[in-house]
Amino acid sequence: MKALRILFLLVLLVIAAVYGWWVQTAPGIPVSRTITNTEGQSLEVVVVGRVGQTLHFDRLSDGTRYELPFGKLSWKDRIFAERLPEQAPPAVVKEEPVDPYIANRQKAISELQRKQREFIAEIESGSLTNILARKRREDLESTEKEILELQGEINAYLARTGNQ
């Protein structure tokens, strides 16, 4: 009888250890993986979600979003999919192609705005000498002028090309 109790406790301990391992090693989302369907066709994907018994993924070759029921997955991939947390996929965002001319000027504007914030912080800190504070105000004015010039260039370019 005592041996039966010990055996029962050992079996319980093994089950608890296996369950702990199963939970600890569960994959998270997003995850890159090669999935295989029931016909044996493989596909390189990034799994982006799981809703119920449906797997949502983006194909690596072109980023196209697909969903596939668990029943169409190979048995290994079904087990993998079952272990994934329930999580809705993020919305697909289609980006408009950006004109390089505009992108270049927008990047320059962002950099100038960063400098502007630094100049304002230095001026407001009150730790600058009068001469240096005056120089920072001049720098601030010149960056504002440069930003306006760049924005004007973008607007003129858009007017010329008809891309309003």
Over residues 73-82, the pLDDT tens digits come to: 999 999 888 8
DSSP 8-state symbol, 30: S
What is the pLDDT, as a whole number, of residue 61? Answer: 81
The residue whose two tokens read 């980006």 is 95
The per-residue pLDDT of the chain, averaged, comes to 86
Residue 162: CB partners within 8 Å, gap ≥ 6? none
Over residues 80-109, mean pLDDT: 83
Over residues 32-41, mean pLDDT: 90
pLDDT at 140 over 70: yes
What is the pLDDT, as a whole number, of residue 3? Answer: 85
pLDDT at 162 over 80: no
Confidence of residue 95 (pLDDT cuts 50, 70, 90): low
Over residues 155-160, mean pLDDT: 89
Are 63 and 94 in contact by the 8 Å Cβ rule? The answer is no
Sheet holding 54-59, edge to edge: 31-36, 42-51, 54-59, 65-69
What is the pLDDT, as a whole number, of residue 80? Answer: 87
Task: Please give the structure tokens belonging to residue 155.
Answer: 């607007």
pLDDT at 164 over 60: no
CA angle 126, 132, 135 (to 5 degrees): 115
What is the pLDDT, as a whole number, of residue 25? Answer: 66
pTM: 0.50
Are 48 and 30 in contact by the 8 Å Cβ rule? The answer is yes
Confidence of residue 53 (pLDDT cuts 50, 70, 90): very high
